[in-house]
Each structure stands twice: as C-alpha cells, then as structure tokens.
Structure 1
Amino acid sequence: MSGNDAFTRAALRAEATQWFNLERSGDMTVDDELRFLDWLDQSDAHRDAYRLVERAWLIAGTIPQEPEMLSPADLDGERESRRPGWRRHLALAASLLLVFTLGWSVYFNAFPGFGSTQTQQFRTGVGQTTTVTLPEGSVVTLDAETEMRLRETPRERRVDLIAGRAFFRVAHDPSRPFTVNAGGKSVRAIGTAFEVSFEHGNMVVTLAEGKVRVEETGSGSGSGTDMAPGGQLVIGADHNWTLSRVDVAKETSWTEGRLIFMRDPLSEAVAEMNRYSPRKLVFKDGEIPERQVVGVFQAGDVDGFVKAMELNGIARRISATDDQILLSGGE
C-alpha cells in the first residue's frame, strides 16, 4: 500500500469516526443526517470505512475521540482547501490507522480461523442497543444485554445467540441459509425479518416478514415448526412449544427505542424497564403487585414509568438513589 493510499484510508476512517460519534450522541439534526447519507453514498470506500468503525466499536467498546478532529461541517471544506493544518490531520489520521490496525490485530488473533471462515462476536451492555450490517448484507439490531457470535462460510451464515434478544433482517441468499441457534434450537431463514430472544432457558421467535423454520439443532429428523408472519413461537425451559399470533409492532418496538405494554403484568414491565437503565426499579420486600400495565414508554425512562404508575395508583415511590428507585404497591 502506498503512502497516499494509507493516508486516504486513514482520513476516511477519521471522517467515519466523526459521523459515528455524532450519530450516537443523539445531537444529529435533519441537515446532519442528509449530509451523512450523502457522504455514505459517495463511494463504497466511505461505506466500508463506516462499517469498520462500527465493528471496531462493538469489539473494543469505544471509539477514539480526538478533540482536534474536524467537525462534520468542516469535512467538505477540508478536502477542497487543504488548509495549513494538514500535517496535524495527517498525524491524527496516522494515529487512527494505528489504533484500528492494533484493534483488528487483536480481533484476528482472537479468531484464528478468519479467512474462508469468518467469525465475529458482538456484545451489548445495560441500556445499550446497536444495529450492525454484517459483511454479507444482513442487518442485525442487538438489544441491551445481548451477546451473539457470527460464523460465515461459503456454505452457511450462522449466528449463535448466547443470551439476550436480537432482530434480524436477512439478506436473500438461497445458496447460504441464515441460521440462528439458541438453547439447542435453530431458526432457519433465507431472506426474511424476525426476532429471537433467549433468556433464562426460554427461547422466543417472532416473525415479522417471510418464512422461517424452527427445529431442534442437529436433529436431522425433518420435524419442526414452520412460521408465518405475525406468529410467535415460545419454547420454554420445560421444552413445551407454543405457537400464537401477536402484534409484531408491539413485540419489536424496542428496536425503535420504545416499550409498548398492553395489559402486561407489572413484573414483566418492570423487568423490561430495568433492562435499559442502570438505575433499577426495586419493590420493597421483593413483592411486586399483581397489576397490569398499559402504556408506551421510552426505553430507559424509569422516572417517567414511575410517574405513570403513581398516577394510576399501581405503585408509589418510597425513596431513590443513583442506583435504584424503591417502590411499594399503590393504593
């Protein structure tokens, strides 16, 4: 690789890092978003640089943030004017290249089989959701507290959902079926959109579009359950399989940062709210009233949730700290 090529790639990564940080900050305006989309559309190199930043963040859990890095509003002007500060930006680009090179070196060492077989691992923490585009074009949205492993070969695309919940929008490729494995069960798809969760030994599959087949992993018996859009399959730790119809928009609302409850038990609503906040809702003596919750809440907004519970006489706040809000049953 020539020096010019290295500079160009490092500069693109610097730009991609700026866009990534702006997008995650929540401060992106409509104009910023239009300019960001225009930047992505300029070339495959721009899109590849952004995906590299996205994956590096998932692996390392952070993106280098340099106080001297150009703001998105300055990016176009910098390319045209080449102001006298170019040496500073060259040094910055070189440092970013070093960071990414080291990061990917660690990554490849962790997965020595990388080559014809590609392996990637993803993990999110409390309150952290993220969307990634896989190398073959499928898009995965990981919910908070989720861990999964992706393995790609020329013949298959396989995801092991170790824990948590994820929504998959699968790129159509009949020659390489897309399989999600969890708890000894597998969900097989070609090109479709579905959600899989695996928690406390229970697996739940919700189908939004297309078709999937769920079966015991490696059974080879040909038996299983074929699902249609709007269906939800619950496989309990007791191995019971229950297929029903659900409101897919409600079930997958977390992908848009919202939680919709429609007569859900208070205990389940509290567990969902706690998933997205480091500040936990805790009931005195562990006794959660047998009440139902109806409403739409922003994921992580535990204060808004508590206010709604108090207004409806479902629960009341006893005390609050940085770590938790202690509640008791309402009147």
Structure 2
Amino acid sequence: MSGAQATARAAIRSAAAQWFNLERSGDMTVDDARRFREWLDMSGDHRLAYDRVARVWAIAGTAAEDPALRTAGAAIAEPDEVPAPPQRWRALAMAASLLLAVTIGWTALDSGLFGAGAPAPSEQQVFRTGTGQRTMITLPDKSVVTLDAETMVRLGDNAHERRVELLGGRAFFRVAKDPSRPFIVVAGDKSVRALGTAFEVSFDNGNMVVTLAEGKVRVAEAAPGSKPGNSADMVPGAQLVIGADHNWTMNRVDVEKETSWTDGRLIFMGDPLSDAIAEMNRYSDRKLVFKDGTIPAKDVVGVFKSGDVDGFVKALELNGTAHRVSASDSEILLSAN
C-alpha cells in the first residue's frame, strides 16, 4: 500500500470512529444526523469504514463480557478511589473500548481475521465539512488536521513529502516531526512547508491567511516559468495575509484569538461587525441578515460559542448596536439601531 493510500485509509476510519462515537453518545442533533448521512453517501469507502468500526465495537463488547477481563479491569482501580457516577463510567468505558477497538482491532480487520479486506481507496481522498461542522483527522504519521466548518481538503503523500491541498475554508495543522518528509499545505498557487510545527491556513476566493502557533514555516508562491515567486519565513505569533492581488502583509497577532474556533469559541476583540457576522454565519444554518443589506460600521468585543447566533444577537441588542426584526428557521433578520 502506498503512503497516499495509507493516509486516505487512516483519515476515513478516523472520521468513521468519530461519527460512530457521536451516534452512540446520544448527543447527535438533527443537523449532525443529516451531515452523517451526507458523509456516508459521499463514498462507498465511508460506509464500509463505518460498518467496520461497528463490527469492531461489537467484537470489543463481546470480549468485555469475559469474566477474566472484568476481574482484570476491577483490579486496576485504586482502593481509596471514589467511583465515578455510573453514567460517567459508561461514557468512559464506551470511549475507551472504541479507542481500543480502532487501535488494535482495525489491524485484525485489515488482515482479514474478521472477514475479507476492503479494496484500497483512491490515491487521494477529499474531506469536506458543512455549516457548523468541525472534524479532526489523524494521519498515519500522527499529524493532526482540524477542519473548520465549510472546509474542503485533499490528502495525499509519497516517499518524499506529506501533502494536503486546502481547496477552500480553514484548517489547523499540528505536524509530527519527520525530517525526511516535509509537510506541505498547498492552497492555490501558494504552499506552506513545515517539518514539526502547528499552524492555521485559511483560503477563500484566492485570499490566503497563514497563522503560525509553534515552530517555523516557509510560505512560497509559484511564479510563471522558472522565475521564483515570493516567499517568507514565519515565526510563532506571526500572521501572513496574501491577497488575491498577490500583496503580502505580515503582522503579529494573538494566536489564541485567531485559533479559538478549534475549541468551539469565537473571540472578537474590536473586530468589524461584518467580519463577526460572517464568522457566526459559518457555524449556523440560521443566517444573520440585516434588513437593508447594509451592516453597520461597528466593532464587536466578546467571546461567543460557535453557532450561538441567539446569544450573539442578544449581545448586539444589549450594546445598542442592532435589534431583531424577525426570525425563521433559515435566518434572523436584524436592523441597525
């Protein structure tokens, strides 16, 4: 199996395990269920991976009924340790069993121990998130890619490099060190090259933004012909903005604020209201829309849970910035005060 095939296969089963865990947790919302069905229908490989996780879970559940395993598990607890509530123990046991199954059991499935192996996926695999959806992909080299809402990436690597193409949206990369194979993120005609580091890249309508949290990266632009294009080396805390007009601007930023979306938060510190609304709309099917189509030239300060458009609107009303005119399942209509 090639490196690209291994990357795609690991990413698919990582997503399958996340969907399986969410479905069993009882916390799956209507929107989650819709996105889950879309993910299943996206590829036969997705459905097969999900079925395999379910089979591993069933096998792990059968093994857990073995009296010897139950005795061994009881012996692990400390004598003076206060037991967690039963509901919490069930949740912890579910998560631990699933991790064990995915880590150990998948190898057995791939080897054909529990049935015939699946055909390998294509050399490159595309992953996409919808409105309000975030997902995390763990690659075979232990690098982790976190996709923001409304993001699409294409994964692929070879013996010489690890490669992710950001087709649109925003992603955060925590790269495992491997000096022999650099980690390259490509967006349009620009690339970000790293070895072991953590950084964010967004790409929208030809505009690219790179924010470096840890380590070092080099951003380069391909130029027509053999002439080298622009390039820049970045240090932690720097943000490079490259416009569709090819203008490059480097600034110092608050990395925690810029990457707060990875924790499900949106931090605004004097951001334009128009930018804040665009960010809030990214995570909600109910869009914030101004009555006259013109967003007031106001700034926003605050911390909000991504997707909490009602809380955001309430803050605007308390600050006297705008008020709610009407609301439906698809939008909240606002008017400037």
Give yes or no for TM over 0.5. Answer: yes
Number of the residue aligned with 2:310: 303
Give aligned-pair identity as a percent: 61
Q: Does 1:141 align with 2:146?
A: yes
The aligned residue for residue 195 of structure 1 is: 200
Deviations 1:262-285 (A, max 9, x none): 000000000000000011001012
Deviations 1:14-48 (A, max 9, x none): 99875453469379xxxxxxxxxxxxxxxxxxxxx
2:65 to 78, 86, 109: 78
**Does residue 242 of structure 1 match 2:244?**
no
1:184 paired to 2:186 = no
Q: Distance in 2 between matches of 1:256 and 1:236?
A: 27
Return the alpha-carbon distance in structure 1 between the equivalents of residues 228 and 253 of structure 2: 28
**Per-residue deviation, 1:78:** 2.7
How far has the Cα of 1:77 moved from its partner?
A: 4.0
Displacement of 1:141? 0.3
| Residues 22 and 28, structure 2, Cα contact 8 Å, conserved in 1 | no
* Matches of 2:211 and 2:17, distance apart in 1: 37
Q: Which residue of 1 aligns with 2:272?
A: 265
- Partner SS for 1:151: strand
Work out the CA distance in 2 between the residues paired with 1:315 and 1:210.
42
- Which residue of structure 1 lines up, in the alignment, with residue 129 of structure 2? 124
- Work out the CA distance in 1 between the residues paired with 2:200 and 2:247: 19
Distance 1:286 1:15 in 2: 42
Matches within 5 A, 1:34-73: 63=50
The Cα shift of 1:224 comes to 1.1
Q: Secondary structure at the match of 1:180?
A: strand
Q: Which residue of 2 aligns with 1:291?
A: 298
In 1, the alpha carbon distance for the partners of 2:221 and 2:22 equals 39
Alignment-mate amino acid for residue 231 of structure 2: G
Q: Aligned ranges for residues 81-96 of structure 1 at < 5 Å?
A: none
Matched residues in 2 for 1:247 and 1:257: separation?
17
Residue in structure 2 matching 1:312, options 293, 303, 319: 319
Name the CA shift for 1:103/1:206 in 2 (closer, same or farther; >3 Å): farther
Report the AA paired with residue 300 of structure 1.
G
User: Aligned in 2, Cα 1:16/1:148: closer, same or farther, shift over 3 Å?
Assistant: closer
**TM-score scaled by structure 1?**
0.71
Please state whether the residue corresponding to 1:286 is helix, strand or coil: coil
Is 1:158 matched up with 2:163?
yes
Specify whether residues 201 and 17 from structure 1 end up closer, same or farther in structure 2 by C-alpha distance, changes over 3 A only: closer
Contact 1:15 1:75 in 2 (8 A): no
Q: Give 1:175's aligned amino acid.
A: S
User: Which letter does structure 2 place at the counterpart of 1:303?
Assistant: D
2:228 is matched with which residue: 209, 221, 241?
221
Cα separation, 2, equivalents of 1:307 and 1:316: 8
Task: Provide the rounded CA distance (Å) in 2 between the counterparts of 1:101 and 1:272.
Answer: 46
Name the CA shift for 1:248/1:303 in 2 (closer, same or farther; >3 Å). Answer: same
Deviations 1:62-94 (A, max 9, x none): 756999x989x9676434499xxxxxxxxxx9x
Structure-1 separation of matches of 2:313 and 2:328: 14
Q: CA deviation at 1:260?
A: 0.2
The one-letter amino acid paired with 2:278 is A
Q: Which amino acid is the alignment partner of residue 288 of structure 1?
A: I
TM-score after normalising by structure 2: 0.69
**C-alpha separation in 1, matches of 2:187 and 2:26:** 29
Whether the aligned pair in 2 keeps the contact of 1:187 and 1:215 (CA below 8 Å) is yes
Structure 1 unaligned spans of 5+: 1-13, 28-54, 83-92
1:21 aligns with 2:30: no
- Are the structure 2 counterparts of residues 139 and 15 from structure 1 closer, same or farther at C-alpha, using a change threshold of 3 Å? closer
Distance across 2 between alignment mates of 1:59 and 1:236 = 34
Q: Which residue of 2 aligns with 1:41?
A: none
Compared CA separation, residues 79 and 253, structure 1 to 2 (3 A): farther
Correspondence 1:233 to 2:235: no
Cα separation, 2, equivalents of 1:184 and 1:294: 35
Please state whether the residue corresponding to 2:332 is helix, strand or coil: strand
Task: Name the SS for the 1:325 alignment partner.
Answer: strand
* Conserved 8 A contact 1:265-1:291: yes
Match of 2:261 among 245, 254, 261: 254
SS in 2 for 1:285: coil
Secondary structure of the residue aligned to 1:287 is coil
Q: Report the Cα offset of residue 221 of structure 1.
A: 2.9
Q: Is the contact between residue 129 and residue 147 of structure 2 (CA under 8 Å) also seen in structure 1?
A: yes
1:278 aligns with 2:272: no
Read off the aligned partner of 1:159 and give its amino acid letter. V
8 Å CA contact 2:197–2:216 kept in 1: the answer is yes
User: Alignment RMSD, CA only?
Assistant: 3.8
Partner of 1:206: 211
